[in-house]
Chain A
Amino acid sequence: MAQQGKPVEFWRWPETNWVNPYIDWEKGKLVTAGVDVGSVSTQAVIMVDGEFFAFGNTRTGSDSPNSAIKGMGYALEKTDMKIENIDYCIGTGYGRVNVPMAQQSITEISCHARGANFMYGPEVRTVMDMGGQDCKVINVDDRGKVLNFMMNDKCAAGTGRGMEVFADLIHVPVWEIGPRSFQISKEPPSISSTCVVFAKSEVVGLLEQGVPENEIMAAYCSAMAHRIMELLKRLGVKEKFVITGGIAKNEGVVKRLEKELGIKTAEQVWANPQYRKKNYPFDTQLAGALGAALFGQALLKMGKTISVKKT
């Protein structure tokens, strides 16, 4: 039995939420929300007149509707807004058809492109979304419109869930893997397979041989970077290149990918100088939900849909 108070599940990254203290939502005209129900994490973002207002980032449970409700509840937690005050809500991600509060669903490809455009600015040309169980490469134009996309969701090798399984296996919290993978004397050869199951047995083998933990982490991160590289090759990478999703937070993978690719990823800060100045939280996992909320805004403004606000 696990001891109480001690972390036993190392993959459990902390959930976060935030509310913008500079916005009075009751004065806003349009309140839109985006809910991105992914395979591993669920994000809800609320926007007031196109301004970032609140978000909640939670882990996805066993069913999409409840995860969406939980995510939205978490986003609303620090506000006095109610779900009835939202004009329009759009669902995206894997569970997009199962978001109870959403009026419409849009694919995560469109939403990530739009969200990355908002977060990193219009210079973004290539968006790579490293999700929980798939990766997508998207080429976008200056308005965040998808020009070319490719998805690899047949296998979860080299994705967020793989990293979580790995964290659990070596008993290191998932957010420490990135920094610790650089605390090594020399770069070890990468794990030969990125398949989660095969990599797991290979890691167990390395642990038994007494290879230091940090070196195993470096080996796993570089294997993941290598696999992402294979995908990127087909579509081509143009600057500004950004990575969204959970893996973007893992510098161990990102820096190794940059080295292999010879292209730097854009700095993980808000393109909007006001947001940067006021120190808005920047979370790469939010791109999908942000994009969905922005689409809601655009659809309402164009008159393609109507507000469902009850009050």
Chain B
Amino acid sequence: MIANYGFKDGSGDWYVTIDTDKCNGCGKCVEVCPEKILEVGPDEFDIFREEPVAFVRHDERKKVRYSCAPCKPGFGEKPAPCAGACEFGAISHSEGWKALYER
């Protein structure tokens, strides 16, 4: 399942996307996130899934635009810490921030 956490408004798309089929719940992304917006736990969208999965914390979902901004996801050479830490490439960000810094 592809889970999009975040929102879309007049200024663009602000989503943290987690591909739960690639995620094994190792929790490396949780450790590296400077804003601590990620968490590992039971999959709330697939109640039949046995292994834990990474997700964006409930209270952070409407703020990802600002929480993720310091890492400048999609902008420059290096991937955002969370995306870089995931060996399966399960985490990605929408174009909002990229467009923001390219401006």
Contacts and interface: CB of A to CB of B under 8 A. Distances in A.
Contacts of A149: 1-4, 45
Interface residues of B, number: 14
Interface stretch (A69-77, A105-113, A237-245): A105-113
A155 to B, nearest CB: 7
Interface in B50-103: 62
A6 interface: no
Interface in B1-17: 1-4, 7-9, 13, 15
B45 A234 contact: no
Contacts of B62: 153-154
A150 B44 contact: no
A146 B8 contact: no
Nearest to B94: A234
A146 B1 contact: yes
Contact of A148 (B2, B8, B13, B46): B2
Nearest to B62: A154
A154 B45 contact: no
17 contacts: A110-B45, A110-B47, A146-B1, A147-B1, A148-B1, A150-B8, A151-B7, A153-B7, A154-B7, A154-B9, A155-B7, A155-B9, A230-B8, A231-B8, A234-B8, A295-B47, A299-B47
A109 B9 contact: no
Interface string B1-45: 111100111000101000000000000000000000000000011
